[in-house]
Structure 1
């Protein structure tokens, strides 16, 4: 289960630090923890080494925090990786928009991929 406890805490006690805290927690996540694969446009394997977030909007309620975010990452088209494979492994820039719903008590987080027209 995905948890963002530092973001939940910041939403309760240090709202001015919430965005920076959220970005730091997202950058530390594995790409497998997020729906990156489902939203990719170029590659077929998400890379997490350049994962970063942009907060588009947020709503802080008494029990839940909702964050609409854009996630920037890279992907690759994974081939056979044979020595004579003519296709190089290039990093492709990717972007998806997601919504995080964070429980302010414990940081338990649900994340869903948003359609590009939402």
Structure 2
């Protein structure tokens, strides 16, 4: 049985909101998401192949954006890496290889305040 989508605490994406409707929107959104602290994104919950998110930078990709009832709804793919964490024992055979991970996150940006909630989507 799968878990319901996970909603994260609010952040703000004011530059993306300001760029909405302009040709620069996608680039601004991508940059603003990629500047967020990865701990504020639902990356750990989105792991599929590994057990711990690495500190490496992540990349965002716009999938879809629309405006609806006072919200700018953005669906974005997040590319990042994870590792399978072992016990760190001297004889632990677990390799510390990074694995590529991907998850889809919906960003709901309030069109008045730019307050943004994130929801991990099961896709």
Q: Residue 37 of structure 1: SS of its match in structure 2? A: coil
- State the Cα distance separating 1:81 from its structure 2 match: 2.3
Structure 2 partner of 1:45 = 52
Which consecutive unaligned segments of at least 5 residues does structure 1 have?
A: none
- RMSD across aligned C-alpha pairs, in angstroms? 1.8
Corresponding residue for 1:90? 97
Distance 1:32 1:24 in 2: 17
Higher helix share: 1
* Equivalent in the alignment of 1:4: 13
In 1, Cα distance between the equivalents of 2:55 and 2:32? Answer: 13
Q: Distance in 2 between matches of 1:47 and 1:10?
A: 30
- Say if 1:8 and 1:105, in contact at 8 Å, map to a contact too: no
TM-score, normalising length: structure 1 = 0.85
Q: Following the alignment from structure 2 to structure 1, what is the Cα–Cα distance between the partners of residues 55 and 24? A: 24
Contact 1:31 1:47 in 2 (8 A): no
Secondary structure in structure 1 of the residue aligned to 2:96: coil
Runs of 4+, deviation exceeding 4 Å: none
Residue equivalent to 1:77 = 84
**Number of positions where the alignment pairs a residue of Structure 1 with one of Structure 2:** 114
